[in-house]
Structure 1
Amino acid sequence: MPQAIHFISIGGSAMHNLALALQQQGYIITGSDDEIYEPSRTRLAQHGLLPAEMGWFPAAIHAGLDAVIVGMHARKDNPELIEAQVLGLPIYSYPEYIYRQSQQKQRVVIAGSHGKTTITAMILHVLKYHNRTFDYLVGAQIDGFETMAKLSLNAPVIIIEGDEYGSSPIDTQPKFLHYQPHIALISGIAWDHVNIYPTWDQYVHQFELLAEGMPKAGILIFDETDDMLDIIGQKERADITKVPYEAHPNEIVDGKTYLLTKQKSRIPVLLFGEHNMKNIAGAMTVLDRIGITDTQFYEAIPTFKGAAGRLEKVASAGNRILFRDFAHAPSKVEATTEAVKRQYPGRKLLAAVELHTFSSLNRAFLDQYKGCLDAADEAIVYFDAHTFAVKRLEPITPDDVIAAFDRPKLRVFTDTRELQAYLVEQHNAADVFLLMSSGSFGGLELNVLAEKLVTGL
């Protein structure tokens, strides 16, 4: 008899992918949520898992369930969660459940404030290219993979993108602490979750716990150019192997990036930027530990297109290019802007960033953005003034933003239509356009914008 599992908050990115992965393994899956957005809504509907009605229904929780998986979107007083507790059903956060299903596998966890999705996606691409059997959990859609999660009985290894957010409404510890990795990579530490970790020290401590909690004979891989990681990597623990890495040697020729190998070969790659050269080195280091040689890596990496929304080329024609990127934290915005300018040094770069997250809209955190758009020839910041009421934050003004970014000629928009109109006006004034946000700039019409910016029509 197949196991029956109910998902509370099935519409979440990780949650709905785990639901689809378990359904593919033959589990009986049900779920609920009070709001489900795209692409989760369509994907759940295609597999018959979209709830017939939005909301929470205690009657959906019954003694016949083998497990209940609860997502962070739910609250402690969720009526379905309370009913599951009353019935004494096994209740898991999704990281707890993934660990439960992978105790007999080699667990590889990719963590860090930035780069973890790209590094995870790169590892998955190379393993798939060489027909390896593996399970995975990754935080974005990847070309060639139907879902963002896979769990099976026969895979000897699981590659997990592990983040530092809380696990569930009844378990606030970071997700990555549940996985107990045999191999852990930490790509870098940059404080950008002020709503969860109010101080830098609290934030860094979570990564210290990850490193300290690894099983004996574990392998800790870290970016040695990151000052904080170097400190963590040097902490004494004789039963852990510590492996530092730095950016892969590379060169840019006519706007194209090549990896330079020890054998003096040049390997073309679709990624670019110093941060991605570090991501490549980190992925190579992990793959070396699970049986992929450098030669095999170089064979597979030229076809890696990156994860969805990560420095993704939306459109191009002639010298004009439009990129979008998930960057929103100061360190990510700075790294992405510098990468694009370094790749196209002779072209005028217009970079726009949306202040969208709790941290980025927090007046106390805003100064962290100082200088992060300096590499751009023209810089734009957008934020939705209505968001402050929703997030219960003290409002900020365009003048606050200009002062925080320390860029007097910075243009600040709070209206999506005005932003779109201005960007279209700039189609002849810039060659490379970069849009950075974890949101959508208030519903910017990206397809229309791409056509007008790149073609000038």
Structure 2
Amino acid sequence: MKRIHFIAIGGSAMHNLAIALHKKGYVVTGSDDVIFEPSSSRLGSYGLLPASMGWNEGNISADLDAVILGMHAFDDNPELVKARAMGLKIYSYPEYIYEQSKDKLRVVIGGSHGKTTITSMILHVLNFYHRDFDYLVGAQLEGFDTMVKITEEAPLIIIEGDEYLASAIDRRPKFHLYKANIAVISGIAWDHINVFPTFENYIHQFDVFIKTIEPNGKLIYCETDSVLAELVAKSDAKIEKIPYNVPEHEIKDGVTYLLPEEISLNVFGDHNLMNLSAAKLVCGQLGITAADFQLAIATFKGASKRLELLLSEKNTNVYKDFAHSPSKLKATIDAVKSQFVARKLVACIELHTFSSLNKNFLLQYEHTMDIADEAIVYINEKTFQHKKIPPFSELEVQSAFKNAKLRFFNDALNFEKYLLSLSFNNTNLLLMSSGNFGGLDLVKLAQELNK
């Protein structure tokens, strides 16, 4: 019986991996200095929540088969220092995922945007047909208990391949570690400037990812992304390169249909249709026919927090979306506006990531909100204080977005009060953030707007 200890067990991927290994029969322990919900409750339900918060060298002992190190732990962490001194095997979680799946067929979905949705679509289709598979995905999905599943029996694993760093002592992007047999790149749009200070450096990570694909493997990529298409064309990797694009479709009465069969979808927007094309090609490589894929994908309701419908009343829809980077922001606004051309659109973005609060990177957002009838940017003033960054003025934000009509708020109550003052007759509201708009109850807000 293997014994595994997690340093920083409370992370989104880390706690899910801990639960997956517990289900596999391993003895799992963990530590962290703070654990938030839902990680705390989910660990507690499996008896894996640490008895107390903080780091304790006593957690590290010679009988451990492995220590898994999360990104939240620093390289001077006392548990890590002791584990290294004892010569214990230390993994980042992507390293350990590979260790657990090196004898399986590995499908890795990479890209600056769309990774979670493509992965979710593939998982949904495989699950629809009761296929046996393992997985790692970056969001909690309907019909799946955990975000990670690792078993002995499954012949393949579907992995969402993040380009962020593996751990404090392993500075490689996570998706470099999985050695895909089948890889997807959805697109390349500069992000994580605290790690990749130039766009050229960021692009290079995807070039390395292509080189990590197993010989005679397959790369499925979005050919409409000019940067990506050029990168793939120049690559001399011994792999098969398979391009994809937006599939033929039409929009009728706010519903998108795949043509020529007129398969109605629950998702919409060109970015989601391209995600669908990527998922269809992957599923084809896994033996699922185009007809079977379309039957299954028609029941796909979307990934969590990706154009999630909070309210639909008469001629008003309220959506919540994870979008925060410039490319995601523009794609999401374009999707809602093109799906409901007769309705006005109020689009709100919360900026709170390191990249989006960098004054130089903020310029990447120019014109991303132009087609919204009302554009609103919210930044929690406490975020500036926490990150020790000089706050932005409304004029600075308007200038960066190249949108003089844009409204800026740094107080959640004033932001909420303004939204409640608007008429939402024949108008959609789009709330985009990887945060929580200063703790606002967005479902309650949506209901109040309808009143």
Q: Same-fold call, TM > 0.5?
A: yes
Residue 198 of structure 1 aligns with an amino acid whose one-letter code is P
Shift of 1:394: 3.5
Which residue is equivalent to 1:390?
386
> Which residue, 293, 310, 313 being the options, matches 1:297?
293
Which residue is equivalent to 1:333?
329
Which residue is equivalent to 1:273?
269
Shift of 1:47: 1.2
Aligned partners of 1:427 and 1:452 also within 8 Å:
no
User: Distance in 1 between the 2:179 and 2:445 partners?
Assistant: 45
> Are positions 1:164 and 2:163 aligned together?
yes
Decide whether aligned partners of structure 1 residues 417 and 199 sit closer, same or farther in structure 2, where only a CA change above 3 A counts. Answer: same
Q: Which structure 2 residue ranges, 5 or more long, are not aligned?
A: none
Shift of 1:393: 2.7
Decide whether aligned partners of structure 1 residues 74 and 25 sit closer, same or farther in structure 2, where only a CA change above 3 A counts. Answer: same
Shift of 1:358: 0.4
> Are positions 1:91 and 2:87 aligned together?
no
Aligned partners of 2:5 and 2:29 also within 8 Å:
yes
Which moves more between the two structures, 226-235 or 131-140?
Answer: 226-235
Q: Deviations over 1:409-432 (max 9, x none)?
A: 111000001111111222446620
Aligned partners of 1:355 and 1:437 also within 8 Å:
yes
Shift of 1:38: 1.4
Helix, strand or coil at the partner of 2:338: helix
Residue 109 of structure 1 aligns with an amino acid whose one-letter code is V
Which residue is equivalent to 2:141?
142
> Which residue, 345, 350, 356 being the options, matches 1:349?
345
Q: Deviations over 1:328-358 (max 9, x none)?
A: 0011000000100001110111000001100
Aligned partners of 1:362 and 1:394 also within 8 Å:
no
Which residue is equivalent to 2:69?
70
Shift of 1:234: 1.0
Alignment of structure 1 residues 302-381 onto 2, 5 Å: 302-381=298-377
User: Distance in 1 between the 2:277 and 2:321 partners?
Assistant: 21
Which residue is equivalent to 2:223?
224
Residue 21 of structure 2 aligns with an amino acid whose one-letter code is L
Aligned partners of 1:258 and 1:268 also within 8 Å:
yes
Shift of 1:150: 0.4
Alignment of structure 1 residues 51-62 onto 2, 5 Å: 51-62=50-61
Q: Deviations over 1:91-119 (max 9, x none)?
A: 00000000001111000100000000000
Aligned partners of 2:315 and 2:426 also within 8 Å:
no
Alignment of structure 1 residues 67-216 onto 2, 5 Å: 67-216=66-215
Q: Deviations over 1:289-332 (max 9, x none)?
A: 11111011011001111111011001111111110000000110
Which residue is equivalent to 1:25?
24
User: Distance in 2 between the 1:428 and 1:155 partners?
Assistant: 49
User: Distance in 1 between the 2:200 and 2:75 partners?
Assistant: 27
Residue 436 of structure 1 aligns with an amino acid whose one-letter code is M
TM-score, normalised via structure 1 length: 0.97
> Which residue, 268, 281, 284 being the options, matches 2:280?
284
User: Distance in 1 between the 2:389 and 2:278 partners?
Assistant: 37
Helix, strand or coil at the partner of 2:64: coil
Aligned partners of 2:316 and 2:425 also within 8 Å:
no
Q: Across the two proteins, how many residue pairs are aligned to each other?
A: 451
Q: Deviations over 1:34-77 (max 9, x none)?
A: 11111111111111111111111111111111110000010010
Shift of 1:200: 0.2
Residue 267 of structure 2 aligns with an amino acid whose one-letter code is L
Shift of 1:222: 0.5
Shift of 1:447: 2.4
Shift of 1:236: 4.5
Which residue is equivalent to 1:255?
254
- Indicate the RMSD between aligned Cα atoms, in angstroms: 1.1
User: Distance in 2 between the 1:254 and 1:440 partners?
Assistant: 31
Q: Which structure 1 residue ranges, 5 or more long, are not aligned?
A: none
User: Distance in 1 between the 2:393 and 2:45 partners?
Assistant: 43
User: Distance in 2 between the 1:305 and 1:417 partners?
Assistant: 32
Aligned partners of 1:257 and 1:272 also within 8 Å:
yes
Residue 126 of structure 2 aligns with an amino acid whose one-letter code is L
Identity %: 55
User: Distance in 2 between the 1:180 and 1:238 partners?
Assistant: 13
TM-score, normalised via structure 2 length: 0.98
Shift of 1:235: 2.3
